[in-house]
Structures are given as C-alpha cells and as structure tokens.
Structure 1
Amino acid sequence: MLKLHRFTTLRKTKLHLCQPLVIHPEIPADSYSTSAAERDFLHRSILRTDHFQASLPRLPIPQLEDTLKKYLESQRQILTDAEYDQTVDIVNKFKATEGPDLQKRLIAKDKQNKHTSYITKPWFDMYLKSRLPIVLNYNPFISFQDDPRPEYQNQLIRSTNMIVSSLKFMKTLRANVLEPDIYHLNPAKSDNTRFRKIMRMIPSSIAFYGAYMYKAFPLDMSQYKNIFNSTRVPRPGKDELVVDSEAKHLLVMRNGNFYVFDVLDSNGNILEPEVIMSSIHQIMQDPSPPAPHPVGVFTAENRDTWASYREKLISLGNEEAIKLIDSSVFSLCLEDDAPTDPNAITRKFLHGEPGRIWFDKSLSLIMTRSGNACVNFEHAWGDGVAVLRYFNEVFNDSIDKSVVHPSTNVQTGAGNIRKLEFKLDQEMKDNVEKSVKKFNATMQSLDVDHLEYQKYTKSYVKKSGMGPDSLMQLAIQMAYYRQYKQTVASYESCSTAAFKHGRTETIRPATAETKRACMLFVDDHPTPSTEELKNAMLACSKKHGSLTRNAAMGQGFDRHLFGLRNLVEEEGGKLPEIFTDPSYQKINHVIVSTSTVSSPAILIGGFAPVTADGFGVGYSIEPSRIGFNVTSYPPARDAPGFIECAKKSLDDMYEVLEGRNPRKAK
C-alpha cells in the first residue's frame, strides 16, 4: 500500500473472487505413473493450469471522467468544506488541461504492452522500491485452524504432513495439472467434469470466452510461480525477486539457527515422509542454544541497510549459506513455545522474536510447539488469491491424506541435515545486536487486540438483506466514529484476478451512506426510528456492493490515478497539481486499513497499521462467528478501545436487525 497494499494483504487482500478446489484424482497422466501421481500430486486436473491464461481479458483503464468523479466522491467524506472546494477546483483544472493528454499516453503505453496490465510493473516496483522494513509494513500472516484430530495437532506430525502437502502443491502446479482458478457464477452449470472436458477442446487463445458462455470466469494465476524456491533479495534502491526452481531443499529455522535438508530426490520426487519426519525430529532435538547473533533479524531492517549488511556477510564468506536460504523451497519456522491467547498468537505469527523468521522468503510456514500453524508471506511477489489457494489446499490435503500419523515410528539418522553457520566479524556482531534492539523496540510499540463475536453470522446477515462484508465494513466505520467522532481515509483491498496480471484495487469504505449511518447510531440528536436505522444500514450495503463490483472489475479510481502518476514520474515530467494537492496525500494516508479473507481453514489473520496513526483491521465473517484482529501504535491509536467500539456497533446493529431500537434503550 503506496504503503498500504498489503495483503492484499490481511496487507492484505480482499478476496471477492473465489476459487473452486475441485480434485480429480481419477484423471490419468500421460507423463507420470499412477503411483507417482497418487503420492506426489494433489490431483490431476482435466484442464491445464494455464489453459485460460493466454485469453484472459486485460485490466481496463477506466474513463478519466469516471475516475475523477469517484475520487471526489470519496474525498467529500474526509475533507472539510474548504479543503473539498479547493480539491474540486484542482480536479476540474486537471480534467481540462493535463488529464486528457496523460490519459491518452497511458492508453498508448498500455496498447504497447498487451502481454500484461498497465498496473503490473508499477505495482511490483512500488513494493520493491520501498525502503521500509517489510516486517509490520508489508508482511501479513494467516493462521490455520487446528487439525480436527487432536492426536495430529502435534508439531512434528503436523509439520511433516504440511511439508509434504506443500510439496505436492508445488509439483502439481509445476506439472501444469493444478486445477485452474475459476469463479463459477452458476456452479451447477459449470463446476463439473462435462464443463472441463468441453473447455479442454477449446484452444487456449479463446478459452476464456468459452468459459464466459457458461458464466464461469477463469482467474489470473501468474503469481503462483513465485510461491516456491523464491525470495526477495535486498538491493540498494530497489529489491529483486529471485526464483531458483532447481533447488530441492527446505529451510528450517529454530531459535535463530538455520538448517537445510533435501525434501526432493535427484529426480524431483518427494522423499519418503518418514525421512522428512526424521529430519524435522532431529532439528527439534538439537540441543544447540539460541543463536547468539541471529542474522535473520537483518531481514527486518531498512532495505538499504539490509542490502549493505548482506554484501558484508557475503564478503565474510557466507555466500553459500545465503544462497541456500534464498533458494530453499520455503521456510519452516519451529517455535518452542505454545501461545494460546489470540493476541500472543498474533504477535508470534506477525513478527515473532528477533531472528526467528527470514521475512524475505516468499512463504514461511510457522509452527508452534502445540501445532498451531500459520503462513507469513512477503507481499511483493503476489496477493491473497494465490496464498489462499495454497493455504486451503495444504490444510485439506494434510488432513484428508495425512502421510504420517501418531503411530508412525520416527527413524533415527534418516535424512541429510546441514546446519548453516554464519561467519561474523565484530562489526557484524555489533550490527546484529543493534538490529535486535531496534526490532524489539519496534515490536513493543505495536498494540494488538482481538474480538470473537457470535451473536450473528454470515447466513443471518444475508437473510437480513445486508451483504456480510458491507456489515463488517459499517461496523469498522462506526467503531472509528464512536471512538474519534471522525470519518477518515479508509482502505479495503479487492482482488482484480479476473484480469491478466491483475493484482488489487481499492474499495473506499468511507461513504456518504456510512457517514450518515454512523451519525444516526452514535450522535446525540432526535432519536431515529428503528426503520430509519435499518434503512440506513441497507443503504450502506447497497453502496458497498456497488463499490465492490466496480473494484473487482478494475473500475475503482485508486489504481488508475496511481498509473497516471507513475507515468509522469517515469517520463521525468512535472507532477500535475492533483498529485501534489494535500488532499491527495490525505486520502492516501490511510488511517483505517482493512482486509479479509474467508475460508473454513482460517483461524485468524492480521497485519500492522500502514500509518503510525492508523489501525490495521483484519476481519472475517464465518458460518459460526465473526472475528476482528486489530493492531495500532499507541498512544496515537487505541486498539482495545477500537475493539470495544466495534462490539458496541455490532450489538446496536444486531438490535436493529432484530427489530429493536438501540437508541431508545439508552
């Protein structure tokens, strides 16, 4: 995200498009034996993973007038009258002068790059050029539900099963037989074998349009190649994403120590689960004390600082160790403690202790002693669509097709583990100590709080006529308004994976409708009727649904303005006043940053605020519960206070949906 685009992230991604996870283990494979497919693959899709990729529609560039209209509509909610009038003048001037020509140049450039989208490179660069530490500023986490079988909720057993399921996902993807991501508008018509067989006969160059006839919408999968064997390498000025798909080893971190061992054989087959289990067990039993100088803490540094430290580490003879870390399939972080409090779990999975997570890895699987597990991921390479697909597949496969069990005997001496030792001179030891102190001070400045709410659920909300996501966003807006009596710049991330190389678009949840609802529910004035309160809620839902559809279809305003501004900067021109206007800075100084991903496999997710005076609000509404995970930097903002206000807002809206008036009860 300009700083705020995390998961897209919980930083953040709002996943408004879902992916079917249909498995076809019965489909034979010409290039693999049935036994190998059974053991090393999740499934064998009838359709190639990339079958639709060539024909995906391109991300549209919105009409300039539409973008400016939406921009002003969003600005109206957070500006004073004087600020708004000034911004209207600036926008009208842009529309009449520089804007049309800049729009033409952006369209012309887009036509010259039909293999991608107009936002792809600038968006990657936005992440990679940022010099901010990626911890708290970019990396989010998503944690898994517990294994429903208590006897499998064990660090060794669950780690082994999830490693093998991850490797199966990787091999299925690379063999091009992972079921393509498709949003089925009419699942009864298209989410079946007949549809897939018909699609298989349509050439890839037009396959999307064939699916469209069935109201099925394939999604972009270009980010998936960056999940495994990949890392973000710090460079001066701009980082680099590096993938080494030939490497066959896993990285394991424990107590700041590094271990690697092969999980694939020389032919690329997954090693026997018992061998992988033995390797993990040996690392768990290693009596080595915590690393006295945990160099992993450098990945939490300012990126230029880390780039210089990395070069120094290489000059001291650590090049091979760093290469092994960078190229590993992914990272498994074993934690010796077992936090149970949601706030402690959030801290463990979001940032942990200094040097316990190599934050540059595209994917880190963190496992506590009690078997609680999460994914912490670097955000530059991709967004929540790819991560959630991996997350769901691994969760389901590790449970449905467990390869090790409580009765599995742990082999002794199996595997070939190598512990990586870093050579450090006194200067680098001092640098580690400085980075550890900085890390601890930064993490201690973060506050975390959590809410589980069970009065109503997704199905209840739908029956009321509200959209579940719109209700959650109204609760968030109302919580902030209760706490601070203001409406501020707010952000919700929405996937644009319906388009080739799509990433995200912004939903701006602070609307005229939410502002009015907040005032009716919170402010002192003549008591509104129950009907008036409910109508205000329904108006918020209708507006939010419209914003969501626009964003998912690439018709928001944020990415378009970002693309126009980036074009000027690329060409070395003078920025138009619309981009130097303090109001533009204000709307991009996001106070309330929100994101949600929904899945039965998810327990909790979270991320830090994107501004020092903001909130990071991860949330979900599930069949049986509602969850909020809120972060802030006190004293600027108060996360526990926000949670209390969110609970009050949910209570009040519940009363309205039940036909009672919470204002009269006061």
Structure 2
Amino acid sequence: MAALLHQTLFVSSVKRSGSSMCLRAAVLSSAIQRHRRLYSEYLHRSVVPTMHFQKSLPRLPVPKLEVTMMRYLAAQRPLLDDEQYRTTEKLTQDFLVVQNKENKHTSYISAPWFNMYLSAREPVVLNFNPFMSFNLDPKPDYNDQLIRATNMVCSAVRFMKTLRAGILEPEIFHLNPAKSDTDSFKKLIRWVPSSLSWYGAFMVNAYPLDMSQYFRLFNSTRIPRQGQDELNTNEKGRHLLVMRKGNMYVFDIVDGDGNLVSPAEIQSHLSYILSDQTPMPEFPIGVLTSENRDVWAGLREKLIATGNAENLHLVDSAIFCLCLDDEVMKDHIHISHNMLHGNGCNRWYDKSFSIIMAKDGQAAINFEHSWGDGVAVLRFQNEIYKDTTQNPLVHPDSATAKVDSSSAVRRLQFNMDAKLEDGIRKAKENFDAAVSKLTIDAMEFKKGGKNQLKKKKLSPDAVAQLAFQMGFMRQYGQTVATYESCSTAAFKHGRTETIRPASTFTKRCAHAFVNERGRQSVQELQAMIQDCSKYHGQLTKEAAMGQGFDRHLFALRHLAQTKGQTLHQLYTDPAYAAINHNILSTSTLSSPAVNLGGFAPVVPDGFGVGYGVHDDWIGCNVSSYPARNVHEFLQCVHQSLEDIFSVLEGKSLS
C-alpha cells in the first residue's frame, strides 16, 4: 500500500493536461494491478509466524520401560492363549533397560523411522504410498480438467509461497478455541519469544504441532540408492512436472522474481499439454519408480550413464508432479484404484506428492511416505481445496494467455538402450502382476454416525474400531493384530505412534455379539460397548502423548542393532512377530476437502482399512489381496454396526 500511495502522490503533482491525465491513469492502474498481484501470491498472512512455536516444542518423551512392558502385555493378551502369554510375560520381565539420551535436538524415533522407510527395498507403490481424493468442486463448471488443474497448480504455489514466507498459520490443536483461536491471543502470542511460545499456548489449552516436515512438501523427491534411499530437496526449482499418457513435461510456474506465473499462462501451457497428440512412449520411464528399490537404483544409474542426468534433475527438483489422466472415473472403486496406483506409466511415485487429475475433474493426492505423514499433506489438501473453491484464479469463461506454449513447455525425451528397455518392460510386468492381486471395496453405513455416538458419550473412533474387530470375528472367528495410526506431532519431530484397538475389552464384546448372541441383556451389551470406548480413549491419549509401546520397542531394537548387540529374546518371540504382522491396518480420515482415502494392506493376508466417521454415517474404503475376502469383510462390518447401533437404541439382538 505504501508503494501504491507513493505512485498516487507522484501522479497528482503532474500538470493536469490531457497527456498527464493519461499518464496518471496508466501509472495508477499499473500500481493497482501490482498490488492485486502481490496479494494473490499468498493464501493468507498469519499474524503468528509459521514456525513461531517450533523452537519450544517439547521433545517426544521416552516412556518408562516397565510401563512399556505393561502396555505391550496388555496388547498381547487378546492375541495369545494362556501358554503363549506366559512365555511372552516371562520374556518381558527379563527385558533389559537401554536408555537413549542422545539427539536432544530431535525425537528419539526420528532417525530410526527415516531409516526404516528409506532402507525398505519393496516398491513404494502399494507398500507405502497412500492416496487422499478431493471432493469435487461444488460448482460443476469448475470441475473441467483444465480449469481445475490450473486452479490447483496456482493454489499449490500460493501455499508454497505462504509457507516459505513464514506467514502460513501455524498448525495448532485447540482444546478451547474460544480462548486460543482468537485475534487477541494471536496478537499477544506473536510477541512471546519462540523459546517460550509453546508454554504460552499451553496456558490456554492450545497445543502447537510440529511443522518440521512441511519443507519437504515441495521440490522434493525420494532418490533410489543401493541399500538405502535418500531424500532430495532443491528449492531452486521453479518448474512443474506434468505427466500425460506416460510423457513428461516441464514448465515454470514461478518466475525469476519468485512470483506466481500468470494463471492465464499456466492455463495456456496445460491446455497445450492436453492437446498434445504425442502417443504414449513405448518405454515410459515413470514405471521404474514402481520397482524394487535396488533394481530401480541400478536402472537410475544406467539412465544417468546414457545421458539423462539433466532430465532426472528436472524431475527431482520440480515443485511437484501433476498427473493428467485421460480416464473418466466410474465410481469410488475406480477412483481408489486409479489414485492409489493407476496404470504405472503416468506416475512418478517418488515425488513427495503428486496431484492426480482425471478427465472429469476427480482429483487426488498420492504421496511418498518416508519424508512425512498425513498431517502435513492433509493441511495442504485442505488449504488447496478451500482456495480453489472459494478463490479460483481461472474461471470457465477465462481466456488462456496469448503466449507461445510450444517454446515454454518442454517435453522430456530420454535416451534408451537395450538394458533400460528391458528394465522398463520387466517393471511394467511386475507392476501389473502386483496390482492385479489387489481388490478394493467400499461400504457406507447410513443409520448413524458421530452425532448419535457423542450423545451416548461414546468415542466414534472406538465404535468404528469395535465394528472392525466384531466384523473380523464374525468372518474368521478370531482376534488378530490391529494397527491404527496416531500422530505424535504435538512433539518436536514426532512422527506416529500405534494405537492397538484389539483389546481384552473388544474381544469380550465381539465374542458376546457374535458367538453368544442373545445371551446378554441389552444393558450388559451397552456396558461392554462403554468399556471398549473408555479403554480405546485411554489408548488414543497415551499414543498421542508418546506413551505407546510400539515405537519405544522399535527404537530399542534399532539401538541394539546399530551397536552390534545381540537382540533380546523378546524380539525373537513369535508373539512379537505376530503382533507386528498387522492383519488389520487402519487409518481414519475426516475432512471437508476429502472424499475418500486408501492404501493397500501392509501384509499379504491383511486388510487396508481407510475409514471416516461422519455426523450421520460411517464410511469404509478397504483393500485386500486374494488371501482375504474384502466384500465379505465389509458385509460383516456393516452387520456389526447394525448390531451396535440397535443395542445403543435399546433393542435386543434377535
């Protein structure tokens, strides 16, 4: 505004001749345009700097070993018979204490967790990368592929610039928003030194979350290396990577001054790519990112040796990847398959994230998991959805810029030899074989949801997890190892902890509903559900506060291995292997931006359960391999929810 005022004062001093009036109008118009352009560079301007709380975030606590052992045994109890339990109990009592007092600048789990992901040799597709699909724009005309893609690219750049300028609203969990999520609190807390700011927020029941992962969102790629991959971030990249029909294109979306390129120009360049008649390459190199990591590392070295280093650098340093698909999505199942894996050719699975845009405007984020967790990606997705639906920069009647897109857009062409062609051929065969085994099905329970459960003072998440336990027992007659992810972002460099939803309470309750149907009164069954909810709430709180047992045991094992120590028998106990063979791997997701999310099972005989408990309904998006019947499982879960809600309404089970 100061620059605008200066220009206005300058023009007012010019003589009021015809020419000077034109000059004044021109200068004023130019100044206004510059001001509007500056405003459009950012999503918002936070009063509190983005990383204001980062320095004072508390460290992830290391639980007391005896408490970890107690929690471990409690989680094992429903999975083991009496003899197996006694053996495991004896091993836990014999477990020696090893304390980690190093790495005071970070969390004790951070380095081991990065190593775990980056040293895994399995392909990232299906094994690690999840997807989260966007809801459609409520204005149908804005779901045109070109319009929506352009708006998402622009909003993504605005998010990136807001983040890097330090004016993105900090991520805070508000327990009392009336006190902490207010302008007056923000104006006050911004003056509290960063070294103390977390404590100031804590005083009003607000919990700032770790944002250290956010810098990996943009210009970042996982690079395959023999034995262990590495993460590469190059913030100098100003270009977008676009994939269509297996072809790869790049063009700048940030100019030399660091500003967003004109949305009309971006629209023009994307229109040029969508109209390009170049056929799919016979050997699309994107499919290599779906390979075994050591195999891909070797082929990447071969790509460099055959003169493709510059192209790979452009791929790696791109701000992010936009995948333009020619398919129209038929239903939720089609969306899940396309956004989770696609055909393998029109993806670069190693990018920190890709926005996938189908022909009908259905869109999703597929992200590589080693660099970060769902918290950062979901924040990005929420902001992008809000910005594109409320402040779109291009419209159905917008004209593309009159620019030469053929010179601005570069299609990457790769040098090939027989070994690379053979590697791509085999990668496609392996990919097709892997995805052909994956089945996905979805279920919506419409007879109740969050509102009803909260009226009964029940945890919605606990009831959903109970339904999974009950459904599995109805289908297979047993209780199995179950994993639910919980963020530990309340701590510096926190990642995730495991909630173990399979408990003695859920086992007893599931047994009563499934195997002893009609033997207990409605009141007894309601009490069992209440017990499950209360215990699940305790497990959730412990996990969020870094007091689970999984990461502690994982870190102690990692520490012993790095020091060359012999592993304690607890780790070779079959019960330890069994509880980490997570047949039910679950993750919840509820957001106004997200339509559905999903991932593949983490073990061959497992289910990958993505779910959301909404105000008046509960949805599940579940995957399986041939060892399990996902359709039958969802029928069993639906029946379990029917039973639970009937009992909560006071009806007896027939």
User: 2:62 matched to which residue of 1?
Assistant: 61
C-alpha distance in 2, partners of 1:414/1:187?
50
Q: Which moved more, 1:409-418 or 1:576-585?
A: 409-418
Task: Output the amino acid matched with 1:286.
Answer: D
1:617-636 aligned within 5 A: 617-634=609-626, 636=627
Q: Report the alpha carbon displacement of residue 410 of structure 1 after superposing the two structures with TM.
A: 2.6
Q: Which residue pairs with 2:31 in the alignment?
A: none
* Contact 2:452 2:616 survives alignment (8 Å): no
Aligned to 1:513: 505
Q: 1:645 aligns with which of 619, 632, 636?
A: 636
3-state SS of paired residue (2:190):
helix
Matched, 1:616 2:617: no
- Aligned mates of 1:295, 1:453 — CA distance in 2: 42
Cα deviation, 1:248-271, whole Å, max 9, x if unaligned, reads 000000111100000010011000
Quote the offset at 1:340 in angstroms: 2.3
Contact map agreement 1:493 1:506 (CA 8 A) in 2: yes
- Give the TM-score taking structure 1 as reference length: 0.92
2:651 — aligned with what? 660
Q: CA deviation at 1:38?
A: 1.5
- Residue 560 of structure 2 aligns to a residue whose secondary structure is helix
**1:93, distance to aligned residue in structure 2 (A):** 1.3
Instruction: Give the counterpart letter for 1:376 in structure 2.
Output: N
Q: Please give the alpha-carbon distance, in whole angstroms, between the structure 2 residues aligned to 1:414 and 1:277.
A: 12
For residues 561 and 35 of structure 2, what CA distance do their matches in structure 1 show?
A: 54
The alpha-carbon deviation at position 345 of structure 1 amounts to 0.8
Q: Which residue of the other structure, out of 250, 259, 267, is the alignment partner of 1:260? A: 250
Shift of residue 369, structure 1, vs aligned partner? 0.2
Query: In percent, how many aligned pairs have the same letter?
Result: 52
Does residue 92 of structure 2 align to residue 91 of structure 1?
yes
The count of residues paired between Structure 1 and Structure 2 equals 619
Partner of 1:303: 293
CA distance in 1, matches of 2:337, 2:358: 12
The answer to whether the 8 Å contact 2:518/2:652 transfers is: no
* CA distance in structure 2 between the aligned counterparts of 1:449 and 1:405, rounded to whole angstroms: 35
Per the alignment, residue 504 of structure 1 pairs with 496
Query: In the aligned structure 1, how far is the partner of 2:353 from the partner of 2:236?
Result: 17
> What whole-Å deviation, never above 9, does each CA across 1:626-647 have from its counterpart, x for those lacking one?
210101111x111111111111
Give the whole-Å Cα distance in 1 for the aligned partners of 2:347 and 2:618: 29
Match of 2:428 among 436, 458, 475: 436
Shift of 1:532: 1.2
Would the alpha carbon gap of residues 454 and 75 (structure 1) be closer, same or farther in structure 2, given more than 3 Å must change?
A: same
1:373-388 correspondence runs (5 A): 373-388=363-378
CA distance in 2 between partners of 1:479 and 1:331 (Å): 39
- 2:566, 2:216 → 1: CA distance? 35
SS of corresponding position for 2:232: strand
The reply on whether 1:198 has 2:188 as its aligned counterpart is yes
Q: CA RMSD of the aligned region, Å? A: 1.1
Residue 603 (structure 1) aligned with residue 604 (structure 2):
no
Secondary structure of the 1:494 match is strand
- Matched with 1:147 is 137
- Cα offset, 1:413, TM superposition: 4.2
Following TM superposition, by how much is the alpha carbon of 1:624 offset from its aligned partner in structure 2, in angstroms? 4.1
Q: Does 1:366 align with 2:356?
A: yes
* Structure 2 residue matching 1:221: 3-state secondary structure: coil
Equivalence for 2:4: none
SS at match of 1:599: coil
Tell me by how many angstroms 1:428 deviates.
Answer: 1.2
8 Å CA contact 1:294, 1:354 repeated in 2: no
Runs of 5+ unmatched residues, structure 1: 1-32
- Higher RCO (C-alpha under 8 Å, 6+ residues apart): 1
Q: Which amino acid aligns with 1:168?
A: R
2:321 counterpart of 1:338: no
Residue 384 of structure 2 is matched in structure 1 by: 394
Q: What do residues 567-599 of structure 1 show as CA deviations (whole Å, max 9, x unaligned)?
A: 101111111111111111111111100001211
| Cα distance in 2, alignment partners of residues 128 and 182 from structure 1 | 29
SS of 1:76's equivalent?
A: helix
**By how many angstroms is 1:204 displaced?**
0.5
1:77–1:202 CA distance, 2 compared to 1 (3 A): same
Classify 1:571/1:36 alpha carbon distance in 2 versus 1 (closer, same or farther; 3 Å): farther
Deviates more, 1:348-357 or 1:422-431: 422-431
Q: Which residue of 1 aligns with 2:8?
A: none
Give distance in 1, aligned partners of 2:640 and 2:574: 32
Secondary structure of the 2:94 match is helix
Match of 1:23 in 2: none
Counterpart amino acid of residue 316 in structure 1? T
* Residue correspondence of structure 1 range 117-196 to structure 2 within 5 A: 117-196=107-186
CA contact (8 A) 1:318 1:423 kept: yes
Counterpart amino acid of 1:43?
H
- Report Cα offsets for 1:369-415 as digits up to 9, x if no partner: 00000000000000011011001000000111000001111335444
Task: Give runs of aligned pairs for residues 3-42 of structure 1, distance below 5 A.
Answer: 35-42=36-43
C-alpha displacement of 1:531: 1.1
Query: Comparing 500-509 with 456-465, which one deviates more in the overlay?
Result: 456-465
Q: How does 1:211-222 map to 2 (within 5 A)?
A: 211-222=201-212
Contact 1:517 1:536 in 2 (8 A): yes
Counterpart of 2:603, as a letter, is T
Separation in structure 2 between the aligned mates of residue 456 and residue 215 of structure 1, nearest angstrom: 31
Match of residue 9 from structure 2: none
Separation in 1, partners of 2:628, 2:323: 31
Q: Is the Cα–Cα contact under 8 Å of residues 494 and 504 in structure 1 kept in the other structure?
A: yes
Is the contact made by 1:600 and 1:622 (CA closer than 8 Å) also made in structure 2? no
Could you say which structure has the larger radius of gyration? 2
Give the structure-2-normalised TM-score.
0.93
SS at match of 2:265: helix
Task: State the partner residue of 2:21.
Answer: none
CA contact (8 A) 2:451 2:616 kept: no
After superposition, where does 1:483-498 map in structure 2 within 5 Å?
483-498=475-490
Counterpart contact for 1:37–1:44, Cα < 8 Å? no
